[in-house]
Amino acid sequence: MMSDFFANLSLGFSVALSAAGLGWCFIGVALGTFVGVLPGIGALAAIALLLPLTFGLEPTYALIMLAGIYYGSNYGGGIASILLNLPGTPTSAVTCIDGYPMARNGRAGVALFTTATASFFGSAIGMIIMAIFSPMLAAAALRFSAPEYFSLMVLGLVAAAMLGSGSPFRALAMIFFGLILGLVGRDLTSGLLRFTYGVDELYEGLPLVAIALGIFGLPEIIRNAGHLQRSRIRSKDITFASMIPTRDEVKRAVPAAIRGTGLGAFFGALPGTGGLLASFMSYALEKKVSKHPERFGKGAIEGVAGPEAANNSAVQTAFIPTLTLGIPGDVIMAIMMGAMIIHGIQPGAQVLTSHPDLFWGLTASFLVGNLMLLILNIPLIGMWVRILSIPYSVLYPFIIAFICIGVYSVNGSVVDLGVLLFFGLLGCVMQYLKFEPAPLVLGLILGPMLEQNLRRGLQLYRGDYTEFLTRPISATFLLISLFIIVWSFWGAMKTRRMRRQMRAAEEQAAE
Amino acid sequence: MRNLNKIDVLAGLFVLVIAALSLFEASGLAMGSARSMGPGYFPFYIGLIMVVIGIALILQGRRPVEEAPEFGNLPSARSILLVLAAVTSFALMIERFGLVPATAVAVFLGTLADRESSLLQKLILTIVVPVVCVLIFKIGLSMSVDVFRWRP
């Protein structure tokens, strides 16, 4: 067991520390930090935009680079949060609460240093947890049959969609819409084309890059063009010397980072929770255990160290279910999974046995990449600060061009640009009707596998649906899914009732 | 003050339209049985479930509420049209005129969405962005696309 652990890791490091491994990892984290710092490009759009660049690479290096973009963008998002109070990524919104006040108190350097080191610590521990638990989970999953996989995918979809914000009806509607979109193309069993409406080029299914950029990227540009203004920051204030924390600050930050790491590692591995919830919970926990809760919101270093560690350890452990079960916990992991499928690797328990170099190389690259980020972020912080001041009006024409060329380059097909356009428009309509795009993309990626496992399961058990409910593991997954659905409808009802009562009370007070 | 919740009703209709598309598509495909699912089986049941969700949203919207709920923010029609026009022009031009003209037109249309920037800035971007794109995609990544081409 222990010897396996070291043998696996040494295999991983031999891949991650090879010249190609190091090179692509570096390009990934540098690009990730770059887009994380830039305004108006989320991690998801960044990964989709840069995905075509990886098509020429071997799958292992492609994934190392894509993962680097993802966690690199978290570092970049932290920089934008602290210096401008503008979170580059949703998860770094928590960092704003105390990071920005720290910057205003003249402690910007320390806040940035804390972010970088706490993130590094969180992801290093997250990586170790991933290395220990993935083989166990994969071994358990090898005994899964079609009904278990079907139920697990249902759970993954339900958890990821319903635990997000917004109305449960809308989330459900978007899951099912995504499932339908996932059916577009050739049906594997009958060979018939479905939902292609005469566009035969779609027989391989809808192109993932075009969809992701259409539904997340274009509406973002449309919303921000001509509106997003940048404030000025003085890059001279952030010097290497200003980054060294005092002894008291270290004493407060270290335990916070340890607690945050624990929370993040746990929630990251669960479907539907991930980094956002983990960082919020870590913030709440730090405020609770602190002897000086009044300092929070005014520049408490614990409020930066805890959530940043939580977020980054969650980012690493989120790869556990994605790689070992083929169940993405959130939409970014879903895109990662889509990227694996494009590269010809079916995520699931067999990845560990059939592609050990990929799995362990990726795992080891997390440590390598985060070390690179530490170097990129501490001595070179001045460079990122200068990038922060690029105005959006200069930036977004580049993004439009990159989106168009990126989508076209995937298949060299104008049809893909049509898909981009269609989903851009759909994204705007959905925004207007308050539908969220994330459940749709999750449904789209899991749709084909969901249908396949349902079909296989029913075939195995002669069309008997009760098999899904009587096999203990499958039944457990379905029960948890049901519980989440009921719970989120109940929660939505409760908030509505509370709002009504508050209004009534207000009206009474007014009278 | 009692208002109908128009946004839920519209959202419900939107869901019903998709459900109808799914059911229509399924009607042209073999259903099969649970034991051996045909290509129409899955889309049919998804369509049915979406009908239920759509109706539920409409019913939820028809319940009177105290305050008229806000719609999600719709960006200005100008930005929507210009950004989508930029993508359309790129799609129409890339295989006829090549990378540089397609990118330049797309970028120029895109910059028009921003009213703050000066015409000079827009023109500079229209020249600079295609050059950068050629450097990255054609020279850096050796993408197989013509920089210029004439096949109208």
ipTM of the complex: 0.90
Contact between B97 and B148 (Cβ < 8 Å): yes
Expressed as residue numbers, the domain containing B26 is 6-62
B129 occurs within a structural domain: yes
CA-to-CA separations, A498 to A196, A492, A511, B49, in angstroms, rounded:
46, 10, 20, 30
What span, in angstroms and rounded, lies between the C-alpha atoms of A399 and A184? 28
- Contact state of A417 with B110 under an 8 Å Cβ cutoff: no
What span, in angstroms and rounded, lies between the C-alpha atoms of B70 and A92? 27
Same-domain status, B81 and B58? no
Contacts of A415 (CB under 8 A, 6+ apart): A199, A201, A202
What span, in angstroms and rounded, lies between the C-alpha atoms of A488 and A492? 6
B88 contact residues in A (CB cutoff 8 A): 421
Contact between A363 and A127 (Cβ < 8 Å): yes
B12 occurs within a structural domain: yes
Q: Which has the closest alpha carbon to B21: A447, A452, A441, A181?
A: A181
Q: What is the pLDDT along chain A (511 residues), one digit of tens a residue?
A: 567 778 888 888 888 888 888 999 999 999 998 888 876 677 788 888 888 888 888 889 999 999 999 888 888 888 888 887 766 666 677 888 888 888 888 888 888 888 889 989 998 999 889 888 888 888 888 888 888 888 988 888 888 777 765 688 888 899 999 999 988 888 877 777 888 787 777 878 888 889 988 988 888 888 877 666 555 555 555 666 677 788 888 888 888 889 989 888 888 887 766 677 788 888 888 888 888 888 888 888 888 899 889 988 988 898 888 888 888 877 888 888 888 888 888 888 888 888 888 889 998 999 899 999 988 888 888 788 888 777 888 888 998 999 999 899 888 889 999 999 999 999 989 988 888 888 898 888 888 888 888 888 888 888 788 888 888 888 988 998 899 888 888 887 887 777 777 777 777 776 6
Same-domain status, B58 and B81? no
Backbone angles phi, psi at A71, to 5 degrees: -75, -25
Between the CA atoms of A308, A33, A267 and A251, what dihedral angle is there, to the nearest 10 degrees? -20
Same-domain status, B56 and B94? no
B13 occurs within a structural domain: yes
Same-domain status, B81 and B135? yes
Same-domain status, B46 and B99? no
Same-domain status, B43 and B10? yes
Q: Quick one: closest CA in A to B111, which residue?
A: A397
B149 occurs within a structural domain: no
What span, in angstroms and rounded, lies between the C-alpha atoms of A355 and A11? 12
What span, in angstroms and rounded, lies between the C-alpha atoms of A370 and A210? 30
Instruction: Dig out the tokens for A221 from the structure.
Output: 């540009």
Same-domain status, B52 and B100? no
Instruction: Dig out the tokens for A120 from the structure.
Output: 């590094």
Same-domain status, B53 and B106? no
Instruction: Dig out the tokens for B152 from the structure.
Output: 């109208």
For an interface test with B, which of A57, A65, A405, A499 has the most B Cβ atoms less than 10 Å from its Cβ?
A: A405
**Domain total in chain B:** 2
B70 occurs within a structural domain: no
Q: Quick one: closest CA in B to A228, which residue?
A: B114
- Contact state of A170 with B11 under an 8 Å Cβ cutoff: yes
Q: Quick one: closest CA in B to A466, which residue?
A: B34
H or E element that contains A194: strand A193-194
Residues recorded for chain A: 511
Residue A195 identity: F
Q: Is A508 exposed, middle or buried (0-12, 13-18, 19+ CB in 10 A)?
A: exposed
Residue B144, SS3? Answer: coil
Same-domain status, B87 and B129? yes
